[in-house]
Structure 1
Amino acid sequence: MAFYKWTMGKSYSIDDIQQINMKVTEKEKGLFKMSKFKDPLYFEEGFFYLVKAIQKLQSTITDRPVLIAISGPSGAGKTTLANKILDFFSKATSLSMDNYLDTSKHVIDENFDDYRLVDFDLLKKNLKELIEGKETKTPLYDFRKSGRYAYETTKCKAGGIVLLEGIYALHDQIRQFFDFRIFISGGVHYDLVKRIARDISRTGQTPKESFQQISETVYPMYKAFVEPTIKYAHLKILNRFNPFAALLNPTYTLKTTEKVTEEAILKVLGLDEKYKPKYTQYNDIYIRPPSDIESDEESNSDNNSDSNSENQENNEKKNEKNEKNEKNEKKKEKNTEKKEIKNKKNDKLQVKKKKLNRYNSFGGRKSSFVKDYIRVRNNISSGTYEVQFSQILQQDDFIITPTLDFEVSVKILSGLLSLGYHIDATIKRKLKRFSNGEITIDVDTFVQMKNITYVQIKGKKRETVQEIGNLLGLEGKYVRKSYIELYFDYTEEKIKTRELKKIKKKKKN
């Protein structure tokens, strides 16, 4: 787990960990500061230590409620985390920043994620009154009507908890109110899909409309104004949930390179000899999400910024003590310079090692490092584009792909690239499809891979897919990798062969 990276192999009890991470110090009268966790935690572990942190704060702050802020991108799980805290603590009140939208202000290009639309004045008034133990009138917002429709009375007594969740919960206008600050993310890829699913149910938008809004307004605002606030969080949580299973039933796929005749396919599917398969040509463009708070480089930069402020006071005291002895001070400075040079060298070596692990020695990407992709499918025949969110799961001979697919405009691809997505591969496919409504059999030919042909048996019922495969005599002859993994394996081998040929030529010469 990420949490144990910084322990450097030492074993700590829960009490030790609490003492390390949960020191509460009084900055000014009535304002408290809690130590930060140095690494992102996964959801379950993060929730455990969040509860411990709140309990620690409650034992220290007794004359007012404890204020907790939960920030992160749309769809990351902020509301889920807030609801878990409400279930755990009986004296807890939750505020959603969604309710503080003020659409009486000018909305530019339907960008409802613009922080300038947040009614910070009312939010600060509500927070101040809750801190003072007073009743306060908090707003309610209707997303379908795009407007504030009512107010409700909210109060929280001393010893209770006030939660604020929203993408701008760590904004500089309100950050100072909170005793403990959390940043939660599922990674951009997950957050994107979860946001689309939420918008469909909450605002009545179609997936296409939601995706377009996200690519043009939501994520540009996130990258510019939300992501930079990660450094102010005491605790970073990675919510690696799987939203796909909740959207649609998974498709079970068996894949093989064995030759299967059309007659055999028609027979097992119960189709007439006059049946005409569907012919299509695709360009499958695989784009990889930008890095999120899990990335080592970002995590390290956050750790440095966290530790700098915490170690500043100690460094000043050490400098004062060493002023009397200039010679020793110079020696120490030289030693620290040497250590810094060594550390920089070690950091560079670590980065190189990670790159070597991710890529083979000839520069190709390894299929073992394939994670989650968004596949933008360009149907060459019709000229249309389709976004396909999918997460590849492998079990026995099956490739299991819960998916959410919908048609988009070509602008979406450029929009994703502007958000930091990367094109990792473009695969040209010629497809011949047979289907009886329950089972689909695709005969796929890959142009770049020497026209290698794969036969895919796909369906919603695992047993039926297995039975069709057995009838075709394919048992024990299945390929267990996705197309993107197979493509990377092929290109890796191709690069390796090419480089070896170059080496042989050099030796001959």
Structure 2
Amino acid sequence: MAQDTSRGAEAPRRPYGLLRDQFQLVKKKDSNRYEIVPVEDTLSFEKGFFIVIRACQLLAQKNDGLILVGIAGPSGAGKTLFTVKVLNFVPSIAVIPMDNYNDSSRIVDGNFDDPRVTDYETLLDNIHGLKAGKSVQVPIYDFKTTSQTGYRTVEVPSSRIVIIEGIYALSERLRPLLDLRVSITGGVHSDLVKRVLRDIQRAGQDPEEIIHQISETVHPMYKAFIEPDLQTAHIKIISKFNPFSGFQNPTYILKSTRSSTDEQIKAILSEKFRETKEETYDIYLLPPGEDPEACHSYLRMRNRDGKYNLMFEQWVTDSPFIISPRITFEVSVRLLGGLMALGYTIASILKRSSHIFCDDRVNVKMDWLEQLNRHYVQVLRNLNRRTLSKF
């Protein structure tokens, strides 16, 4: 591959400094077109965004015709979010999601992540049409009906930049056409949460069905077909997008190890309080690749009265409060095997015996954790911090 002197700032490359100085352009082999030298380090979501914008600008300056960008990654990694962010910054680009090229007649056992589902013939026809300067008809796909519902017209954008976004956007059939290859990953744990939330909203699927599908089809397909393609990316981005960040109504928990009697708790409640007892078993699952000493994002499967719930949770401490946005799905115990197939391991199983007092304002739990030999008093309610501080 012949080296070219074109650089991000027309200056010698250096390891530190402005983002635009951290990559350079080279000519493609047997071609007059330029591409960027692959960036060695993985980049954060924000840094990757600015690098991609700058790379697109430079490629548009050096190359004639259409600038084709492929953005790929596993389901739920943040590809669409990233693409929308780029589109908001450069409205004159065109975006073609590969999901629109799903052919429902090719779907086997509900596996939308099989590469054979993609209608590459239509996709490639559309790409070649745009490269020839023509407007094209891009299919519109409805995930709830699993069918194409029509077409939309896509014209060559004024920026000449077209983004192909999808799990197979860096596949072997597309790579020769791409001027810039971008991969986005987020780790199995965050990808799992985001995929579940996305498919509930988009396809109306049951949470357990989604997670079972991930363990049985999505993850194996990722390891076999997607992950190798991602290694060819010019720019590799790690998305730490937090699916809990949009929760506007956190639960405030006031937790204490001090000893309290039943009478003391009853004294702060209304006369019509309710009193119950329950036992729960919490199975804590360590996400793949996480250090058990440093992990703060254990997945919890809770068994109460024979019913299982999968709990996605993130804690933010602001002493004496733990702000705990939480998502809970009812599942079957069979799901545990699917999660372990994804690489989760059982870190601990804790038995919790609870004596609960509650009224219309507040819920007070006296917890006994058998394995830890500890008592806790826990106060929780969707109250403001000032009100909760009185307990």
Tell me the distance in 2 between the aligned counterparts of 1:27 and 1:19.
Answer: 23
Instruction: Give the CA deviation at 1:222.
Output: 2.2
Q: 1:151 maps to what in 2?
A: 151
Give 4+ residue runs of structure 1 displaced > 4 Å after superposition: none
8 Å CA contact 1:76–1:184 kept in 2: the answer is yes
Higher normalized strand content (fraction of residues): 2
8 Å CA contact 1:37–1:234 kept in 2: the answer is yes
Counterparts of 1:244-323 in structure 2, within 5 Å, are 244-247=244-247, 249-272=249-272, 275-291=273-289
Relative distance call for 1:83 and 1:245 in structure 2 (3 A) is closer
Q: 1:486 maps to what in 2?
A: none
Instruction: Give the CA deviation at 1:118.
Output: 0.7
Relative distance call for 1:387 and 1:437 in structure 2 (3 A) is farther
Instruction: Give the CA deviation at 1:276.
Output: 4.9
Tell me the distance in 2 between the aligned counterparts of 1:253 and 1:12.
Answer: 44
8 Å CA contact 1:78–1:166 kept in 2: the answer is yes
Q: 1:349 maps to what in 2?
A: none
Instruction: Give the CA deviation at 1:386.
Output: 0.6
Q: Computing the radius of gyration over CA atoms, which structure comes out larger, 1 or 2?
A: 1
Tell me the secondary structure at the aligned position of residue 28 of structure 1: coil
Tell me the secondary structure at the aligned position of residue 27 of structure 1: coil
Q: 2:74 maps to what in 1?
A: 73
Instruction: Give the CA deviation at 1:467.
Output: 3.1
**What is the identity, as a one-letter code, of the residue corresponding to 1:428?**
K
Q: 1:33 maps to what in 2?
A: 35
1:453 aligns with 2:378: no
2:312 to 376, 389, 393: 389
Higher normalized helix content (fraction of residues): 1
TM-score w.r.t. structure 1 length?
0.70
Q: 2:123 maps to what in 1?
A: 123
Q: 1:372 maps to what in 2?
A: 297
Q: 2:103 maps to what in 1?
A: 102
Q: What RMSD over aligned residues (CA atoms) do the two structures have, in Å?
A: 2.1
8 Å CA contact 2:274–2:358 kept in 1: the answer is no
Tell me the secondary structure at the aligned position of residue 156 of structure 1: coil
**What is the identity, as a one-letter code, of the residue corresponding to 1:150?**
G
Tell me the distance in 2 between the aligned counterparts of 1:189 and 1:173.
Answer: 29
8 Å CA contact 1:64–1:157 kept in 2: the answer is no
**What is the identity, as a one-letter code, of the residue corresponding to 2:79?**
K
Instruction: Give the CA deviation at 1:45.
Output: 1.2
1:405 to 316, 328, 337: 328
Tell me the distance in 1 between the aligned counterparts of 2:81 and 2:72.
Answer: 12
Instruction: Give the CA deviation at 1:101.
Output: 0.3
Tell me the distance in 2 between the aligned counterparts of 1:437 and 1:208.
Answer: 32
Tell me the alpha carbon deviations over residues 419-458 of structure 1, each in whole angstroms, 9 at most, x when there is no partner: 1112222222112222224422221111111x21111111
Q: 1:12 maps to what in 2?
A: 16
Tell me the distance in 2 between the aligned counterparts of 1:278 and 1:220.
Answer: 44
Counterparts of 1:337-352 in structure 2, within 5 Å, are none
Instruction: Give the CA deviation at 1:196.
Output: 1.8
Q: 1:485 maps to what in 2?
A: none
Instruction: Give the CA deviation at 1:463.
Output: 2.2
**What is the identity, as a one-letter code, of the residue corresponding to 1:376?**
M
Tell me the distance in 2 between the aligned counterparts of 1:244 and 1:110.
Answer: 28
Q: 2:11 maps to what in 1?
A: none
**What is the identity, as a one-letter code, of the residue corresponding to 1:200?**
I
Instruction: Give the CA deviation at 1:220.
Output: 2.8
Tell me the distance in 2 between the aligned counterparts of 1:387 and 1:433.
Answer: 22
Tell me the distance in 2 between the aligned counterparts of 1:460 and 1:44.
Answer: 33
Relative distance call for 1:468 and 1:157 in structure 2 (3 A) is closer
Taking only the aligned residue pairs, the percentage that are identical comes to 40
Relative distance call for 1:437 and 1:100 in structure 2 (3 A) is farther
Tell me the secondary structure at the aligned position of residue 317 of structure 2: strand
Tell me the distance in 2 between the aligned counterparts of 1:454 and 1:377.
Answer: 18
Tell me the alpha carbon deviations over residues 227-274 of structure 1, each in whole angstroms, 9 at most, x when there is no partner: 2322111112222122124256211111111001112212223244xx
8 Å CA contact 2:252–2:385 kept in 1: the answer is no
Q: 1:441 maps to what in 2?
A: 364
Q: 1:299 maps to what in 2?
A: none
TM-score w.r.t. structure 2 length?
0.90
Q: 2:45 maps to what in 1?
A: 43
